[in-house]
Amino acid sequence: MCAERSADRPLETLLLPLLDGHLAWPQGGALFLRARAGAPLLARPWPGLVCQQSFAPDAAALERLQLRVLADDQDSAAQRYPLVLVLPPRQRDESRALLAHAMRSTERNGRIVASMSNDEGARSAEADLERIAGPVTTLTKNKCRVFWSAPLNGPHDAALADEWLQLDAVRPIADGRFVSRPGVFAWDRLDVASQLLAAHLPAGLAGRAADLGAGFGYLSVELLERCAGIKHLDVYEAERRALDLARRNLAAFEQRATISYCWHDVTAGLTGTYDVIVCNPPFHTHARGDRPDIGRRFIGAAADALRPGGRLWLVANRHLPYEQALGEGFERARIVIQQHGFKIVEAVKARRK
């Protein structure tokens, strides 16, 4: 997915207390959890800023600003900082775990500063921070809230903070068939659209395959279980937390197929060539509005990476306008079935003349 945003209001609001003088930038630098790049970060220097971001397009955008970026939550837990900035996610358990992680990463007398848009749960996140950090100060602007703690001497409620650290822990789902965690796509269930696609995959698919936007690996597992002829699989996923889950869920198949795990933005193009590609492409961003252009870019990347005669199997919401992209990239495309508000499409790459 594309990391570009015309206006990142939570990011702008997060930095407001530091830009208007409510808070001073500490000499020891700061940790920025779920950091995102944007114009507000260019407003002034931020010496000693360390960013944590597990979503590949956002991590790449931060690196283009020459910022230090950590991809993994655990990497950012190795040090404590005098200031921890947070852009909490919408999912409540994941948000609470991230605030508890911020608490664990804050040094004595340090502060936590967080921001969310009002329509994504800003009041709830503010109340959550107050529960584990004590009284907070709040500003509202840009239809967002920014709220920050007083200097901390440890958690206000240490037991609750420890409890919240476990809220996004990896756990079994689907009767133990998979492991997942809050915050990844359809984290606690088998996605209906992906199940529909899996049920229609022909058993005769063979050769080198790719799963684009693989999530925790459901479609990859189904492809390998149903298609004995798949001997090599590249698993593409932009969210590092999801890719780590896919690695665990696919471990049992590594004896019978060569599996590669690619922390990669599919919209930037693929790194291999394939006989088969399966995907349930995303169609929204952090702002949650429909973004059919993302799905079209997945289709374009698949068309470029498939060998002549290669086949794309795709599931999408029925209303999404992908027909033009399919017509441009493939010799032929057909709707296999429409059901439960979704469509399954098979598209075939033209053979060389």
Quick one: 178 and 157 in the same domain? no
pLDDT tens digits for range 107-127: 999 999 999 999 999 999 999
> Would residue 309 count as lying in a domain?
yes
How many angstroms separate the CA atoms of 294 and 287, rounded? 13
| End-to-end CA separation in angstroms for the chain | 34
Residue 2 lies in a domain: no
Average pLDDT, the chain: 93
| pLDDT for 3 beyond 50 | no
Q: Are residues 176 and 280 in the same domain?
A: yes
Give the span between the Cα atoms of 241 and 237, in whole angstroms. 9
Same domain for 250 and 135:
no
What pLDDT was estimated at residue 203?
97
Range of the domain at 41: 9-165
Q: Does residue 26 share a domain with residue 139?
A: yes
The answer as to whether 3 is a domain residue is no
259-300: per-residue pLDDT in tens?
Answer: 999 999 999 999 999 999 999 998 755 555 567 789 999 999
DSSP assignment of 207-265: EEEEEET-TTSHHHHHHHHH-TEEEEEEEEESBHHHHHHHHHHTGGGTTTSEEEEEE--
pLDDT band at 181 (very low <50, low <70, confident <90, very high): very high
DSSP 37-100: --GGGGSS--TTEEEE--BHHHHHHHHHTT-EEE-STTGGGSS-EEEEEE---SSHHHHHHHHH
**Cβ atoms of residues 168 and 194 within 8 Å:** no
Measured distance CA(312)–CA(326) in Å, rounded: 10
Cβ contacts of residue 92 below 8 Å, gap of 6+?
A: 121, 124
Taking the C-alpha atoms of residue 28 and residue 23, their distance in angstroms, rounded to an integer, is 14
Asked if 117 and 63 sit in the same domain, the reply is: yes
Query: Which candidate, 49, 55, 167, 32, places its Cα nearest to that of 105?
Result: 32
What pLDDT was estimated at residue 4?
Answer: 42
What mean pLDDT is predicted for residues 333-353?
A: 92
* Helix (H), strand (E) at residue 25: none
What pLDDT, on the 0 to 100 scale, is given for residue 290?
A: 64
The reply to whether 214 and 291 lie within a common domain is yes
Residues 159, 182, single domain; the answer is: no
One domain for residues 61 and 124: yes
Question: Could you tell me the pLDDT band of residue 25, with boundaries at 50, 70 and 90?
Answer: very high
User: Which of residues 74 and 149 earns the better pLDDT score?
Assistant: 149
Asked whether residue 2 carries a pLDDT value surpassing 90, the answer given is: no
In order of 229, 233, 237, 243, the CA distances from 257 in angstroms are 9, 7, 19, 18
Domain harbouring 314, CATH code: 3.40.50.150
Same domain assignment for residues 134 and 252: no
Q: What is the DSSP letter of 202?
A: -
Of 165, 182, 197, which one is at a domain's C-terminal end?
Answer: 165
178-202: average pLDDT: 96
